[in-house]
Amino acid sequence: MKTVIVGAGLAGTSVAFHLAGRRQVQILEQGDTPGAEASAQNAGMVRRLGEDPWERALAIRTVERLVALDSNPGPFQISPSRGVGAVLALAHDEGHLNDAVAHCRIHGIQVEDLKDAASVSPVLAGSALRRAWYLPQERVADAHQLVWGMLRGARDKGATLSTQTPVLSLLIKGGRCVGVQTLNGPEYADEVVLAAGAWSGNLAASAGLHRPLIPMRRTLVQTTTHPQSAPHLPWTWIDDVGLYARPEGEGWMLSGCDETIDPPPLGPGSRGPVENEPRALLLHKIEHHMPVLSNVRVHTGWTGLRTFAPDRRPLLGADPELPGLWWAAGLGGFGVTCSLAIGECVAAWMNDQTVPWIKARPVSPGRPQLRRWPIRPDGTLSGAVLVDDETP
């Protein structure tokens, strides 16, 4: 049986890794190299304390797998992640993440209430917080190593990768998806997996399917050397403010969590430059909420596309309206965090199996979606605005 996977980012390589050996797997990638879009633009934080319960289920499973790779990396050759710990804090809305904390604790994840957050995370010195938690086991992961490790594992089992092969549309025959039309001609398959990140919604539309997936641009900056940065420090996120700091090199990787709806380019190349407005937003937030960092100097930075469904839950599994089409898309801001679990559950469902840690229905690509939904342009919870399909 032949399966074509569209896209060689974290989603596509994860499905290939888990499916290869049971299928003849071919990955088609429009770019020159795998993992060069959103999968190369992230901050690499592995966060189990997320807002959505199904995202958390995927994250919890992925971390179990990442921990196992520490001692037995297999095709990854070296472990793609390491434990650094994390601090999640709230400046205004102390009820936010309550459920998430309970869920994580039930799963045995250490979540400690912090009285003096700055004692664990020096960037929080002088920050007025209502609540903070320390998760000593949280990790950072290298998305590049994840993509290449999963690809290596898939290739070891016979999967192939064709780069510079843009898929133009899905091929439909008798109400079934029977392959894809590429720039080089048709590629027939028994099943197609849509793992095309920010481009997935448009490809689905080529088959007449309406699957709202909204690419949103976010800014990350890297600072020059800073005296407070050290590799052993936890990454730190003030969630309701929308501000995070991850020690990176001798400086910090920072984001003010800006969100701007932005359709992807026609071909590869979704990475963008840092614009003045989000940069000013970030510096303003730092001044007010991480004053210790107010003397940082931005060295470099970039923007990338995080692609969400309206309910911010991934689209995983069989498309209920188009037999033969499967999904691994809508990974938003949690594609590194959920990477290994995404492919594991999609491959299991393709093989008519179940996994004990997530159900298919809540992440079904055909689930009802809101017609208007909130996005967070300035990264704060309170500054959310409603958008719809027509919002540019």
Please report how close the Cβ of residue 207 comes to ligand FAD at its closest, in angstroms: 13
**With respect to ligand FAD, which residue has the nearer C-beta, 150 or 292?**
150
Give Cβ neighbours of residue 185 (< 8 Å, ≥ 6 apart).
none
**With respect to ligand FAD, which residue has the nearer C-beta, 42 or 229?**
42
Q: Is 101 helix (H, G, I), strand (E, B) or coil?
A: helix
**With respect to ligand FAD, which residue has the nearer C-beta, 31 or 80?**
31
Q: DSSP string covering 143-198, please?
A: HHHHHHHHHHHHHHTT-EEE-S--EEEEEEETTEEEEEEETTEEEE-SEEEE--GG
**With respect to ligand FAD, which residue has the nearer C-beta, 303 or 380?**
303
How would you label 44-61 residue by residue, b for 16+ Cβ within 10 Å and e otherwise? bbbbbbbebebbbbbbbb
Please report how close the Cβ of residue 141 comes to ligand FAD at its closest, in angstroms: 8
**With respect to ligand FAD, which residue has the nearer C-beta, 12 or 80?**
12
Q: In whole angstroms, give the CA distance from residue 91 to residue 77.
A: 41
Please report how close the Cβ of residue 15 comes to ligand FAD at its closest, in angstroms: 9
User: Cα angle vertex 107, ends 153, 351, to 5°?
Assistant: 40
Please report how close the Cβ of residue 115 comes to ligand FAD at its closest, in angstroms: 27
Nearest CA-CA partner of 218 in 37, 6, 32, 42: 42
Please report how close the Cβ of residue 270 comes to ligand FAD at its closest, in angstroms: 7
**With respect to ligand FAD, which residue has the nearer C-beta, 67 or 125?**
67
Q: List the beta bridge partners of residue 131.
A: 90
Give Cβ neighbours of residue 40 (< 8 Å, ≥ 6 apart).
143, 144, 271, 304
User: Cα angle vertex 305, ends 300, 310, to 5°?
Assistant: 145
Please report how close the Cβ of residue 392 comes to ligand FAD at its closest, in angstroms: 20
Please report how close the Cβ of residue 118 comes to ligand FAD at its closest, in angstroms: 23
**With respect to ligand FAD, which residue has the nearer C-beta, 119 or 300?**
300
Contact 237, 191 (CB under 8 A): no
Which residues lie near ligand FAD (CB under 6 A)? 6-12, 28-31, 36-39, 41-45, 166-167, 195-199, 203, 218, 220, 268, 304-306, 329, 331-337
Contact 373, 216 (CB under 8 A): no
